[in-house]
Amino acid sequence: MESLKKIVDVCRRFGVTGDPIRYKTFTDGHINATFLVVFSNGGELKKYLVQNINTVVFKEPERLMENVISVTHFLRKKIRAAGGDPERETLHFLKTTDGQLCLRDGEHCWRIYHFIDDSFTYDLIEDPAIFRAAGEGFGRFQRLLADYPIENLFETIPDFHDTPKRVDALRAAAQQDAVGRLHEVRSELDFALSRAGEASRALDLLKSGNVPLRVTHNDTKLNNILFDTTTKKSICVIDLDTIMPGLSLYDFGDAIRFGAKTAFEDEADLSKVSISMELFAAYAEGYLSECAMALTQSEIDHLAFSAWLMTYECGVRFLTDYLNGDVYFKIDCPEHNLIRARNQFKMVKEIEAKLPEMEAIVQRVVAANKA
């Protein structure tokens, strides 16, 4: 845990003035360390988010920041042209006093950006209207970036959604058994490997030219989109570190994986973990209302499957991290990654049972959009 003094020192290096009066830690992300700091300048309050970029996960934070700055500038112009408010609808990063995009400090790398006030995120929802709004937000994000020059994007985590490689990493972790946990996870490992044959389906579609490479967010979980406190509408997509060339299927599937669930991502009581068809339909409606016209038939045909794939992949990643000794995702207890993996695999089974229904929902929503 960083001290207020350390965080204020970082702020000064980004030219922030005033007296620090309050700070708070955000705990909903699994990767970076995020702090809100409030400064007073003669009574006028300014709120900043200070983030310690996880350099184990993101090996080249400077190049990552070039992606993020370039994408947010691009978005800002489009938002302004559409009459929106770029200060609320996209992120605004500060530079250091000597013009750098982030501040290296030993193994740490810091960045600062404006806190978007009167906003909040969800880790779990029940109200379909909220999830529809999330779908609109991520669909809009994809539409706005449709003509962003993809060749300019640096791949911040190579092979991020290469599911077969994720399965290979699981096999390697099991073989190595670095921290002696293999005996605890035999049934989860068998479950994951029994489905490995399906892991390459999205990449096969890409290779055969059936789905296009797009600019995608790649981490569209519900707590990576801000909602307006008053209107309850989605306002701003955040956590832009994994913007890379990818498939629309990754963004749709990951949003469903996290948001259409009836329990938290780390709920240990698996009887509570299920996928809600009402939430699934609501997200599909919101998302497709913004970007259906830009999707190919093959993308649409695989949207329901993408929820299976992203859930399976995430379960594989949590299980791998558990076997590796929790070196990647932040944890709150020793079993955290195993609980998360079991939770994802329960969702995988749920999706397998409901896939025909989910496919029918997508077709219904697409037909309604065309009418």
- In the list ligand ADP, Mg ion, ligand GN1, none, the entry touching 34 (Cβ below 5 to 8 angstroms by class) is ligand ADP
Using an 8 Å Cβ cutoff, are 121 and 223 in contact?
Answer: yes
- x/- map, 245-274, ligand GN1, by CB under 6 A: --------------------x---------
Strand order in the sheet with 234-237: 119-120, 225-228, 234-237
- In the list ligand ADP, ligand GN1, Mg ion, none, the entry touching 121 (Cβ below 5 to 8 angstroms by class) is ligand ADP
* Adjacent-strand bridge partners of 237: 225
Minimum CB distance to ligand GN1, residue 309 (Å): 12
175, 249, 320, 335, 359 from 179: Cα distances, Å: 11, 34, 12, 13, 41
What whole-number distance in Å separates Cα of residue 115 and Cα of residue 42? Answer: 19
* Smaller CB separation from ligand GN1, 265 or 350: 265
Task: Give yes or no for residue 52 binding ligand GN1 (CB under 6 A).
Answer: no
- Pairing state of beta strands 119-120 and 108-114? unpaired
* Closest C-alpha to 56, from 334, 325, 314, 244: 325
Among 64, 79, 91, 202, binds ligand ADP (CB under 6 A): 91
Strand, coil or helix: what is 32? Answer: coil
Among 89, 136, 188, 239, binds ligand GN1 (CB under 6 A): 239
Q: Is 23 exposed, middle or buried (0-12, 13-18, 19+ CB in 10 A)?
A: middle
**Residue list 296-315, contact with ligand GN1 (CB under 6 A):** 314
Among 121, 210, 289, 298, binds ligand ADP (CB under 6 A): 121
77, 264, 267, 312, 347 from 95: Cα distances, Å: 19, 36, 39, 39, 42
- In the list Mg ion, ligand ADP, ligand GN1, none, the entry touching 49 (Cβ below 5 to 8 angstroms by class) is ligand ADP
- Of 118-126, 234-242, 300-308, 337-345, the segment contacting Mg ion by CB under 5 A is 234-242
| Entry field: residues in the chain | 371
How far from each other are the two terminal CA atoms of the chain, in whole angstroms? 54
- x/- map, 228-267, ligand ADP, by CB under 6 A: ----------xx----------------------------
Among 64, 101, 116, 174, binds ligand ADP (CB under 6 A): 116
Among 55, 70, 100, 119, binds ligand ADP (CB under 6 A): 119
- In the list ligand ADP, ligand GN1, Mg ion, none, the entry touching 193 (Cβ below 5 to 8 angstroms by class) is none
CA 199 to chain centre: 20
Point out which residues bind ligand GN1 (CB under 6 A).
Answer: 29-31, 57, 219, 221, 224, 239, 242, 265, 314
Point out which residues bind Mg ion (CB under 5 A).
Answer: 29, 224, 239
